Amino acid sequence: MSYDIVIKGGRVVSSTGTTRADVGIAGEKIAATGLDLQGAQTIDASGKLLLPGAMDVHNHFQLPFCGTVSAGFANGSKAAAMGGVTTFLDFAIQVKPASLMETIAARRAEADPDVCIDYGLHAGITDWNDDRAKELPAVIKAGLPTFKMFMIYRSEGWQSTDADLYCALRESAKYGGMVGVHAENDDLINLFHREAERDGLTGCYAHALTRPTVTESEAIARAIKIAEAAGGRLYIFHLSTGCAADIVHESRRRGIDVHAETGPQYLLLDDELFKREDGHHFATCPPIRKAEDQDKLWQRLADGSVEVLATDTCTFNSRQKAMWAGDFRKIPFGMPGIETLLPLTHARGVGEGRISLGRMVKALSENPARLFGMWPRKGTISAGSDADVVVFDPELEVVISHETLATDCDYNPFEGTKVRGWPVTTLVRGKVVVRDREFIGEPGYGKFIEREPAPADG
Ligand code: URP
Ligand code: ZN
């Protein structure tokens, strides 16, 4: 049997181990893994790891937010491919009074022509009511079994009440959906903002001071209680604190259907950065935290309590970030991240002995695919799955710099970080979109993935 492409001589990685095997690709699918496979085209992967494409389930491309618009789908998906991400999830955030279905159609019209890798959308609910409840089955049928609700962002018109969250969780559970939350306590943050104003604190470090860990941990504990009472499946986006990671750990031990993600910014950066002149470049919500939070987050990632790594990419360049004009409340919140997700996780997690290679693949590929309804089509190098494969050179040393990354941004939060290990070739559904670190993909190649509700055991 001859395949269209054979990736030869690499070691195939999954959460359960690493196997020396060739990967045979026929059309868009992996047809076989084994030794001595033959193909019309060969990719030499000697000395390399073959990873299932990373999946970044939290991104905001082309998002009108904080008075400006984040960087778009074309560059974002190109940067993703260069970083070994083969599928990303973004959001169709409802702008009232548009329905969810109208919002999804509009968002797809923005993304479809531009994306060079596969993608899906979460439905962002901003006005829970009977119409939204009636829409849920259609939204899930359209391939969006996961939702996002915001416990903050009143000024954007996005905030949901606890009652909204309860009802959405209860209703979505009927159809196997999952509700994700941006969990921060709005009342407390507003109080701390007023106190900062009273005390004349406007600088960037006040972003951290006005969002102490309780503003996240209380909201996460509350969301978990609400999910438990409603009987729904809950996902915590961008968990940032050690204490919240412990709450998730305890809740999961009690059998609550809660799942959590964190990201490289929370594992690797700390809030001392806000004291720098360019501190506003690092401002995101929730804020980056302290070294002790990082240690706990690594521990909870390693023990599986935090199941997913994702970036919350929401890229604003330095001109956009300058809109803060010295007032921390006006910073466009968000950072670049999708391109460095896999190399940073590998170098700082696996390379420095904090997590195993198997855990990395679980957090970047297998768990996202399972939880977000794409398994086993995606997230694994197995016969029958989409041929989303990353040839990863574990020895290649790279110094992260905005000047050499594909991400179109004039700074990078991880600028100057030395990493060992970088993706060199990326295939999406059997097509080589990055070859030897050169981007050869095309806008519009990426497909919208209609996802299924995940099975109860995730
Ligand atoms: O600051 C952030 N994270 N911006 C993107 C929107 C969100 O909260 O996820
Ligand atoms: Zn958020």
Confidence of residue 458 (pLDDT cuts 50, 70, 90): low
Q: Is the CB of 3 under 6 A from ligand 1?
A: no
Given this model, what pLDDT does residue 1 score?
Answer: 86
Residue 347 in contact with residue 421, Cβ under 8 Å?
A: yes
pLDDT at residue 72 is higher than 90: yes
List the one residue out of 93, 161, 88 whose CA is nearest residue 124.
93
How far does the centroid of ligand 2 lie from the alpha carbon of residue 350, in Å? Answer: 27
Q: Indicate left, alpha or beta for 3 from its phi (over 0: left) and psi (-120 to 50: alpha).
A: beta
Average pLDDT on 148-167 reads 97
Dump pLDDT digits (tens) for 198-223: 999 999 999 999 999 999 999 999 99
Average pLDDT on 11-20 reads 98
Dump pLDDT digits (tens) for 259-289: 999 999 999 999 999 999 999 999 999 999 9
Q: What percent of the chain has pLDDT over 90?
A: 99
Ligand nearest to the CA of 285: 1
Q: Is the CB of 313 under 6 A from ligand 1?
A: no
Rounded distance between C-alpha atoms, residue 170 and residue 166, angstroms: 6
List the one residue out of 331, 351, 332, 348 whose CA is nearest residue 340.
348
Q: Which of 151, 237, 284 to mutate to test the pocket of ligand 1 (most atoms within 8 A of CB)?
A: 284
CA angle 130, 132, 133 (to 5 degrees): 60
Rounded distance between C-alpha atoms, residue 223 and residue 242, angstroms: 17
Nearest alpha carbon, ligand 1 atom 7: 285
Across 406-439, b (16+ Cβ under 10 Å) vs e yields bbbbebbbbeebebbbbbbbbbbbbbbbbeebee
Residue 250 in contact with residue 449, Cβ under 8 Å?
A: no
Rounded distance between C-alpha atoms, residue 132 and residue 273, angstroms: 41
Strand order in the sheet with 438-439: 17-20, 11-14, 49-52, 389-399, 418-428, 431-435, 438-439
Burial class from Cβ neighbours inside 10 Å (0-12, 13-18, 19+) for residue 110 reads middle
How far does the centroid of ligand 2 lie from the alpha carbon of residue 183, in Å? Answer: 8
CA 454 to chain centroid: 17
Residue 286 in contact with residue 256, Cβ under 8 Å?
A: no
Summary mean pLDDT of the chain: 98
Burial class from Cβ neighbours inside 10 Å (0-12, 13-18, 19+) for residue 228 reads middle
Q: Is the CB of 240 under 6 A from ligand 1?
A: no
Given this model, what pLDDT does residue 404 score?
Answer: 98
pLDDT at residue 457 is higher than 70: no
Q: Is the CB of 284 under 6 A from ligand 1?
A: yes
Given this model, what pLDDT does residue 456 score?
Answer: 81
Residue 420 in contact with residue 408, Cβ under 8 Å?
A: no
